[in-house]
Amino acid sequence: MIIGHDNSNTKSSYSTRKSKYPRWNWSKLDLDKFRTALIWSSSVASNENENEPGSPEQREKWIRQTMSSACNAATTRAGNRPAKEQAYWWSEEISQLRKNSIKKKKAWTHAKERKRPLDQINQLWSSYKQSRRLLRNEINRAKVIGWQEFIDTIDDDPGEVHDPLILWTNQLQWDATWAIPIEKVNETIKKKAANNTAPGPNSVKQVIDEAIDQDGVVVAVSIDISNAFNSLPWPAIRKALERKKFPEYLRRIIDGYLYERTIEYTDGEGNIKMKPMQAGVPQGSVLGPTLWNIGYDSVLQKGTEYGCQVICYADDTLVLATADSVAKATARANLQLGLVINRIKRLGLTVSASKTEAVLFHGRRKPDNYSIVVVDKEFIQTCTSMKYLVVMLDSRMTFRNHLDYIEGKISKVSRALGRLMPNLRGPKKVKRKLYANVILSIVLYAAPIWCDALTTSWKNKTKLDRLMKIMNIRVISAYRTVSLEASSILARIPPLHLLAATQKRVFMRTTDLRNSDQWTESAIAIREAETLIMNRQGEIHLRKPLLAGVRTRDAVLPNLAN
C-alpha cells in the first residue's frame, strides 16, 4: 500500500522564501542621510538623462530603486540578517587558491588523525603551509591593486563613485575661485597618507649627510624638558584645542576627562595627602600622547631661522643648524635655540640646561675648535657624541660609539638571560630561541642607519660577532669552544651583518613604495623576498673555505634547506 501526500498548497512556518516587499527599521532612520541620498540620486539621474525623459515604466522603476537605495543608506533592514557582500578584492583566482588551501588542510588533518607516517604528515604540512602563504600573498596583492584602482577612480571622475564613505564629500561642488585648487587638496592628502611616520633617527641622518656632502657642518642640540609629560599645563591644552578649532563638544569631553584629578603622596610624617592637579597628560592612556602633541605643536608650527630645522619625537626636541662654517652654524643654532626655548617657556614648561647635549657634525677635516651654544643663559660646549632616540650619534657619523653602547647593553642582557637558561637542565630550544629574539630586537634597533658602519668596519663586525657567538651557544646549549659559524648553523640564526643589511633593504623598499604612492606589493611580501635573499647570502657566506667549523658545515649545509 502506498500512501501519498500532496503538500503543494501547504505553507511551512520555516520558509526561506525571500520577502516580496522589503522592510526597514524606521526607529533608526537618519533623515539627513535620507535627504542627502535622494539629492545625490536625483543629481546623477538628471546628468545622465538630461535629454531622455524615459517611459512611465522606466520612471516607476527608477523611483522604486532610488527610494530603496535611500532607505538602505539612512537605516537598516528589518527582519533577517542580510547576506554578506563580496569583498572588493575577491576574485576567481583567490577562490581557487582558497579551495586548494582548504583541500590541503583537510588532507593534513586527515593524515594526523589516521596516524600516517611522519614523513607523509610533514610533507602534507609543508604543502598546506605553502598554499596558505600563496593565498595570503594573493589577497594582499589584490587589496593593494583594488585600493589603487579606487584612488584612480576618484582622480578620474569623482561623480562615478558611489561608495557610502565618500557620499558626503561628493556633494561638495568645488569652486574655481577658491584660493586652493582641488588638485592641490588631493595631492596634499596623498602626501599626508604616505608620510604618516614620525621623524626618527633616519631623518636626522639625512640632514647631516646632505650638509657634510656639501662640505658643510651641522650643530645639533638635543633639548631636555624637565618632567615633560607631567608638567604641561591644562590651560595650554585648552588654548591649543580652541586655536585648532576643535568642536566644542570635544573640548567639553576633554575638560570633563581632566576635571577633578588628584594625586596622592606621602609627606615626611608618613601621612597620605591629596593635591589637585592642574598640569600633565595622563600617561599610560590612549589620549595622553594625543593631548601632548596638540599642546606642544605650537613649538613646531612657528617659523625657523634660515638653515635650521626643529625635529620632535614626543618630548625629544632636536635643533639642527647647517652652514658652511662653524661660526655661522653656531650663530644660527643660538638664534633658533632662543626662539624654541621661549616657545617652550610660554607653554609653562621648563628646560633642563644641565641635561641638554650638543654635537658638532663635520667631515674628514676636524675643526680647530668646537663651538659653544647658549641654552637658557647657560653655556654648553659641543662634544663628540650624543644620544638621540636611543641611538648614539658621533661627530663623524661612524656609529662606533653606538656599537660600543650596544655591546655593553647586550652584555648585561645576555648575562641576565643566561641565568634563566643554563646549558644543563635549562629550558628547551624553542624558549631559548625566544630569548635570542629578544636580544636581536635590541641589537637591530635602528639597523638601517648604522648598517653600513657595521659592514665596512672589520673591527666593529668582530666586536658584535663575539656577542652573537655567546647568544648562539646559549640557544644550542653547546660548549664555549664551538665556533661562531658552527653555532650559527645549529641555532639557525644568520650572521648579524646579513640581518642588519636585510632590515635596511626592507626599510628602503617600503619607504620608496610609500613615497611613490604605488603599492605594487605588500610589506609582508617584501620582507619574505628579502629573507630569501638573506638565506641565500648566508649559505654562500658559510661555504667560504677559510671559515671555522668545517665538519659541521659539511654535515649540515647539504640539508640546510630542509
SS3 per-residue string spanning 351-381: ECHHHCEEEEECCCCCCCCCCEEEECCEEEE
**Which three-class secondary structure state does DSSP give residue 173?**
coil
Report which DSSP code applies to 383: B
pLDDT beyond 90 at 523: no
pLDDT beyond 50 at 397: yes
In a domain, 100, yes or no: yes
Higher-confidence position of 36 and 502 = 502
**Residue 337, pLDDT score:** 92
pLDDT beyond 60 at 220: yes
28-61 tens-digit pLDDT: 888 888 888 888 777 766 655 555 556 888 888 8
How many Cα atoms sit within 13 Å of 109 on the Cβ side? 6
Shared-domain flag, residues 547 and 409: yes
What cell numbers appear for 512 in the block? Answer: 620608496
In a domain, 484, yes or no: yes
Shared-domain flag, residues 372 and 461: no
Report which DSSP code applies to 27: G
Report which DSSP code applies to 51: S
Shared-domain flag, residues 389 and 405: no
What cell numbers appear for 211 in the block? Answer: 650638509
- Among the candidates 117, 150, 183, a domain finishes at 150
CA–CA separation, 89 and 142 (whole Å):
5
**Residue 46, pLDDT score:** 61
pLDDT beyond 60 at 363: yes
Q: What is the DSSP string of 457-511?
A: -HHHHHHHHHHHHHHHHHHHT--TTS-HHHHHHHHT---HHHHHHHHHHHHHHHH
**Residue 23, pLDDT score:** 81
CA–CA separation, 382 and 373 (whole Å):
7
**Residue 182, pLDDT score:** 54
Helices (H) and strands (E) in the chain, counts: 19, 10
pLDDT band, very low/low/confident/very high, at 222 (cuts 50, 70, 90)? very high
Shared-domain flag, residues 383 and 439: no
pLDDT beyond 60 at 179: no
In a domain, 210, yes or no: no
φ and ψ at 522, to 5 degrees? -85, 165
Shared-domain flag, residues 359 and 464: no
**Cβ 204 vs Cβ 393: under 8 Å:** yes
Shared-domain flag, residues 506 and 477: yes
89-98 tens-digit pLDDT: 888 999 999 9
In a domain, 209, yes or no: no
In a domain, 174, yes or no: no
Domain hosting residue 390, numbered range: 215-394
How many Cα atoms sit within 13 Å of 25 on the Cβ side? 10
In a domain, 206, yes or no: no
What cell numbers appear for 452 in the block? Answer: 653600513
Other beta carbons within 10 angstroms of residue 65's beta carbon come to 11
pLDDT beyond 60 at 180: no
Which residues, at least 6 apart from 491, have a Cβ–Cβ distance to it below 8 Å? 433, 436, 472, 475, 476
For residue 560, give the amino acid letter.
L
What region, left, alpha or beta, does residue 517 occupy, with left being phi > 0 and alpha being psi -120 to 50 degrees? left
Total structural domains within the chain: 3
Shared-domain flag, residues 410 and 390: no
How far apart, in Å, are the Cα atoms of 282 and each of 23, 210, 286, 551?
47, 39, 9, 59
Shared-domain flag, residues 439 and 403: yes
Q: What is the mean pLDDT of the chain?
A: 81
What cell numbers appear for 164 in the block? Answer: 557610502
**Residue 201, pLDDT score:** 79
- Among the candidates 339, 359, 394, a domain finishes at 394
Q: First-to-last CA distance in the chain?
A: 69
pLDDT beyond 80 at 186: no
pLDDT band, very low/low/confident/very high, at 427 (cuts 50, 70, 90)? confident
pLDDT beyond 80 at 80: no
Shared-domain flag, residues 235 and 362: yes
In a domain, 259, yes or no: yes
pLDDT beyond 90 at 145: no
Shared-domain flag, residues 415 and 370: no
Lowest model confidence (mean pLDDT) among 3-7, 502-506, 521-525 = 3-7
480-498 tens-digit pLDDT: 888 888 888 888 889 999 9
- Among the candidates 394, 416, 438, a domain finishes at 394
Shared-domain flag, residues 329 and 417: no
CA–CA separation, 562 and 554 (whole Å):
15
Its pTM stands at: 0.62
540-550 tens-digit pLDDT: 888 888 788 77
- Sole residue written with cell 512556518: 13
CA–CA separation, 173 and 54 (whole Å):
28
Shared-domain flag, residues 241 and 358: yes
pLDDT band, very low/low/confident/very high, at 526 (cuts 50, 70, 90)? confident
For residue 71, give the amino acid letter.
C
279-317 tens-digit pLDDT: 988 888 888 889 999 999 988 887 788 899 999 888 889
What average pLDDT does range 107-119 have in this prediction? 90
Q: Identify the CATH number of the domain in which residue 390 sits.
A: 3.30.70
How many percent of the chain have pLDDT more than 70? 83
Q: How many Å separate Cα 19 from the centre of its chain? A: 47
CA–CA separation, 241 and 235 (whole Å):
10
pLDDT band, very low/low/confident/very high, at 250 (cuts 50, 70, 90)? confident
In a domain, 275, yes or no: yes
